Amino acid sequence: MRITSAGVKIARLSLATNWRAGLPDPEDRTDWHRIVRWGHLAQIAEDYVSRGDKFYVEGYLMYNSYERDGVTIPTAEIRARELVTLALRATA
């Protein structure tokens, strides 16, 4: 979680998707995705999402790039419009 100079909260989450690739010799594979939430949606993520939780996310992809050591590195992140936790929490 961070706050911009304008006072807007930004939450960055990592989402892992596990899948099986390659036939006839399948191998398990994990891909990582960066999820970004802004404003009050960032606050909700901070309050209710914990490491290891399963969640549903809906949004759109934003592509960008940056340069490091003269090499352009492409990036993609999901700008989340909706995030629903699928974790069951015990209440006291």
pLDDT at 82: 87
pLDDT of residue 1: 84
pLDDT at 88: 64
Domains of the chain: 2-85 (2.40.50.140)
Pairing of β 27-38 and β 71-85: parallel
Tens place of pLDDT per residue across the chain (92 aa): 889 899 999 998 888 888 887 777 788 888 888 899 988 888 888 888 888 888 888 999 999 898 999 999 898 899 998 888 886 655 55
Helix (H) or strand (E) holding 18: strand 9-21
What is the phi-psi region of residue 47: left when phi exceeds 0, alpha when psi lies from -120 to 50, beta otherwise? alpha
**Cβ atoms 20, 29 nearer than 8 A:** yes
